[in-house]
Structure 1
Amino acid sequence: MAQNRLLDRRDAGRRLAERLLAQGGWPGATVLALPRGGVPVAFEVARALHAPLDVFLVRKLGLPGYEEVAMGAIASGGVRVLNEELLSRVQVSPEALEAAERRERAELERRERAYREGRPPVPVTGRTVIVVDDGLATGATMRAALLALRPLAPARVVVAVPVAPPEVCQMLEAEADEVVCLLAPPHFQAVGQFYDDFRQTTDDEVRELLTLAALPPTQE
């Protein structure tokens, strides 16, 4: 397989973990995955680093009529980040923006209940937090996650992703303590173009991996 290709999300996670481990040990780290696609990646990272795994819920606000384009994102704790550059070029009414946020907030809360299955959030205060996704296009979702993490007072925040455009990695370097990106191709169109298998991660897969990660090592 070519070095600029990823087999699937689990492969991406193993390769990302290798990059992180090459930098040294990560004692006291917590791995947070952005669902859903970030969970299989983060599972491999957390297992390799012997770190606890949790989800950090963030939802993209899709541009009306072009839902794949992020006009912003929301995260737990009432955080909202807007893509001001995009919104300065297209007209989106306050009502449309509010409707998108209301819809995504409801889905965020549904996932919070479904994924945790009664488990409390993993503590992040005073810890090194590694935030993982399966890739970044605009970075809006990751920016919302970083903004939502600040009030929780982590000691250090590291963004770790398999693939993202160079300009997005550079932007995030100003907002995180460190950015680790396996692939930063100049000719970037979509995250999925760098995966051989980019099938959608299901809620069941997310629950299964979180449950497995919560087991003692001898029970895996």
Structure 2
Amino acid sequence: MPQAPIDVYSWPTPNGHKIHIMLEECGLPYRAHPVNIGKGDQFEAGFLKISPNNKIPAITDPEGPDGKPISLFESGAILVYLAGKTGQLLPAGDRARYEVLQWLMFQMGGVGPMLGQAHHFRLYAPEKIAYAIDRYSNEARRLYGVIDKQLASNRFIAGETYSIADIAIFPWLRSWENQGIVLNEFPHLKKWFEGIAARPAVQRGVKVLADLRQPITGDKEREILFGKTQYAKH
């Protein structure tokens, strides 16, 4: 019996791309539902039921582990779930599995938050704060250095096998120029990055919903994403 499509509530951001790429790599059927975070769709009651942190992505799988529907938020948790569901991209052996999971946590706790702050202060902050720009640009370079060193002796992020760790990290590095990075300074990372970008499933994944995204230019969008709306009780 064919797998029922997974409903993906998302937007073409690095965290959204993680799940789009994972679904493409695994070959699972899915339906992508746009959640326009610049217009405030993430605060709608229906979305908050499955993503109480008002962040994309979130999924609903009509065929959960017990055969009943399951909803999940947090991109890292969704990657682990989809890997478990399909038996793909997360090793079964304990040692290799924990190697992957530590690098997934590295992305969730470091790469995403720090590069996100670099983007914010370099591109979106209403005033240019030199300390903040330097702080997060330097942290971005440090993180790129950590990844480059890891890739000096490994084909992929967590060893010799492509995994959800690669899928988690790759989308966050696609905007390296906006993060103040010179990619040629990280040759091992650059080689890995180009290899991941060439994968057909990755190319399909980053196109999902991409035609809907517009640059954040208006005050209303900035207020929704970064202002009081974000901190209101929903």
TM norm structure 1: 0.33
In terms of fraction of residues, the more strand-rich structure is 1
* Structure possessing the higher radius of gyration over alpha carbons: 2
TM norm structure 2: 0.32
